Amino acid sequence: MIYLLAGNPNVGKSTFFNFMTLSHVHVGNYSGVTVEKRVHHIKHYEGANLVDLPGTYNVSPSSEDEGIVTYSLLNESYSGIVNIIDSTHLRRNLHLTLQLLELGVPTLLVFNLRDALRSNGYVIDIDKISKRLKSNSICVSARERNNEDRINISEKLKNLRVYKSIELDYHPHIKWGLQRIHDLLRYDSLKVKKKWLALQILEGNEGIYKFIDIVKEEKIREVVKEVEERIIKDEVALSLKGAIFNTRREFINDVVDDCLIQVEDKEHSKYFNQKIDRILTHPGWGIPIFFAIMLAVYQISFGKFLGVGALLTTYFEFIWEQILVYNLGILLEFLGVTGFAYGLIIDGIMAGVGGILIFLPQIVVLFFMLALLEGTGYMARVAIVMDRFLSKFGFNGKSIVPMITGLGCTVPAIMATRTIIDKKERMLTILTIPFISCSARLPIYVIFISLFFDRYRAVIMLGIYLLGIIVTLASAKIFSLSFFKGGGSKFLLEVPPYRMPQLRTITYQALEKAKRFIKKAGTYILLGSIILWLLSNIGISGININPEDSFLSNIAGFISPVFIPLGFGDWQATSSLISGFLAKEVVVSSLNILYVGDIASGFTTLSALTYIVFASLYIPCISTVATIKSETGSKKWTLFSMVYPFMVAYLVALIVRLIFSIFI
């Protein structure tokens, strides 16, 4: 048994999904589209799975993400639909509900956020709304994680059946069109009701033509055009879609007036929101407040002052170095493992993996703080504050959200650009975001700063982050004037109310990131460390050789002259940059392995500076490149996303070297 979970964005869909399933994570892909598909087993319902669909206002797709809803309804095999509805925004949410109910498959309506609705002073008459919408309904508050609710929902799902599907009284022109299209669809064998399909076609759902090969497509398109013309000519509405929308809205208003009952007169919290908004989005104060908050996030994660993350890292480092590695060394000696094998384990694997793993606490704290920011609803305010500034560079205010995410990891940041509707603005954001320094690059800065610039720690750190931002903005400006000229530049943002973030959800998100990080350490970084150590300890003449004669030295030696102008032309530095393509964390692992723990010996103060500048900007890691490929679907731009950063990194590092050679 498979149930599809559909709902508007920001209605607590993920919370509900986690609430209903608890465990058994399965992540797959929709065939033909590379968007993650989340499928979990439903608790208290043996053999039933819930499929999480992307949040959408409408069955018709207006972005790639939303196309999946149409695709799933048409092509997936499922026993029913679970439609999750934000009870505090019924009028908007019910538009999607109506489209799903028109489909005529068993549907359970879950009215979520019962508690929030109640604190606004309202309740839903659930029996009445069930009757009006001819479907099974239940009112819950998924946030409370009440087991009774979970059992009730599972029970309702087991007994889910189709009532008579809902039919609205559309305008005669539309009815005429529906009949015509219905007749034209008789040549197609379809899984869904023809009437529903006809209505979706009239609404302009392009996904239908994309996912089904309709025999009479041309004829059908002519009918749609004719109906649209009649609607406009007779001034029924501004467009065909609008006419359908109006009928639905009238029906919804009627249902809501009938079923939403005020039980208490409360002053709406939106006025409170407005007061905070006026401060946080203040034209003068908004940006300084934003920077102050970001600085605090950074201090807590990485700084010495307030530095929770840094403190944890110190302990972590102690445990790893003094206890784990030390005792492992003793154990190996006891077992008689020496020479080559000992080197591989201690100087290769343990140094490589450990060099990165010690940053785990700081990175978890950073992700925790970012999730906290997002949970409060502040991100939307930042988008407002930054819109004017960012639009000057060809960005959209919404670009700020992926940018902030990019401070954590570039991969989710690129995925977060899906909310940007305009294609050009989205491409621009995708291609420039890798310049924002992600947390994987941080260990590189930390290591070099502690070795060469300990006195100027804060200045260098701030400088390198600012440099990333400046390069991002400058590149965006260049792109918006060349490749992506005349982007749509529309800003339409739904502003969520301020919410108290839930500790459980945030902790969960941070721990998920920690898991991924450990997994990366156990795979990419482990493998990278082993290969790197082997290549640097084996040469044509065999093992136990002088590193200068190793394979790695020979390979990297080819490329390393390229970096001589930048001041770090030795084969070790070059190898570390090459291996960084695997994952940026590997750069530090490689440096630890190749300089056998003495990185300072390989650099001067100046070349250390140009090295971190170069490493902060050059080619994104392999996961990022793969994400860019799947999100843009373009080989050309994927290649560009690798070549362009290399050139920029080289140029900027060269300029930095020229300027600082005067001082250092």
Partner 1 sequence: MNITDLKREDIAQIVSLKNTDKRFMERLMDLGIYESAKVTLLNKLAYSNLYLIEVDDIEICLRKEDAVNIEVRK
Give contact residues for partner 1 (rule: CB under 8 A). Answer: 57-58, 62, 88-89, 91-92, 95, 204, 237-239, 241-242, 245-246, 249, 270, 273-274, 277-278, 281, 283, 286, 380, 383-385, 387-388, 421, 490-497
Q: Least distance from C-beta 498 to partner 1, angstroms?
A: 11
Tokens of 322: 């003094």
Q: Least distance from C-beta 431 to partner 1, angstroms?
A: 23
Give the nearer residue to partner 1 in terms of CB position, either 58 or 550: 58
Give the nearer residue to partner 1 in terms of CB position, either 113 or 351: 113
C-alpha–C-alpha distance, residues 352 and 194, integer Å: 60
Q: Least distance from C-beta 269 to partner 1, angstroms?
A: 11
C-alpha–C-alpha distance, residues 441 and 359, integer Å: 11
- Rounded to 5 degrees, φ, ψ at 592 are -60, -40
Give the nearer residue to partner 1 in terms of CB position, either 244 or 411: 244
C-alpha–C-alpha distance, residues 628 and 435, integer Å: 14
- Rounded to 5 degrees, φ, ψ at 132 are -65, -40
Give the nearer residue to partner 1 in terms of CB position, either 179 or 239: 239
Give the nearer residue to partner 1 in terms of CB position, either 91 or 158: 91
Q: Least distance from C-beta 493 to partner 1, angstroms?
A: 4
Q: Least distance from C-beta 204 to partner 1, angstroms?
A: 8
User: DSSP letter at 440?
Assistant: T
Q: Least distance from C-beta 429 to partner 1, angstroms?
A: 18
By CB atoms closer than 10 A (0-12, 13-18, 19+), residue 527 is middle
CA angle 93, 96, 101 (to 5 degrees): 120
Q: Backbone dihedral region of 634: left (phi > 0), alpha (psi from -120 to 50 degrees) or beta?
A: beta
Strand, coil or helix: 23: coil
C-alpha–C-alpha distance, residues 375 and 353, integer Å: 32
Q: Least distance from C-beta 88 to partner 1, angstroms?
A: 7
Give the nearer residue to partner 1 in terms of CB position, either 285 or 316: 285
Q: Least distance from C-beta 491 to partner 1, angstroms?
A: 5
C-alpha–C-alpha distance, residues 467 and 463, integer Å: 6
Among positive and negative, which fits the CA dihedral 403, 405, 411, 414?
Answer: negative
User: DSSP letter at 51?
Assistant: E
C-alpha–C-alpha distance, residues 416 and 403, integer Å: 9
C-alpha–C-alpha distance, residues 491 and 471, integer Å: 24
Q: Least distance from C-beta 18 to partner 1, angstroms?
A: 25
Q: Least distance from C-beta 384 to partner 1, angstroms?
A: 6
Tokens of 170: 């559309």
Give the nearer residue to partner 1 in terms of CB position, either 58 or 141: 58
Closest residue by Cα to residue 157 from 20, 15, 10, 8: 20
Strand, coil or helix: 661: coil
Give the nearer residue to partner 1 in terms of CB position, either 385 or 446: 385
For residue 223, give every residue at least 6 positions away whose Cβ sits within 8 Å of its Cβ, in sequence order, or none: 177, 180, 181, 184
Q: Which residue do the tokens 């609705």 mark?
A: 117
CA angle 510, 514, 516 (to 5 degrees): 115
Give the nearer residue to partner 1 in terms of CB position, either 214 or 385: 385
Give the nearer residue to partner 1 in terms of CB position, either 239 or 322: 239
C-alpha–C-alpha distance, residues 552 and 453, integer Å: 29
Q: Are 484 and 428 in contact (CB under 8 A)?
A: yes
Q: Least distance from C-beta 92 to partner 1, angstroms?
A: 5
Q: How many residues does the chain have?
A: 664
User: DSSP letter at 601?
Assistant: G
Give the nearer residue to partner 1 in terms of CB position, either 274 or 482: 274
Strand partners, 40: 25, 50
Give the nearer residue to partner 1 in terms of CB position, either 188 or 277: 277
Strand partners, 124: 260
Give the nearer residue to partner 1 in terms of CB position, either 182 or 221: 221
C-alpha–C-alpha distance, residues 143 and 471, integer Å: 41
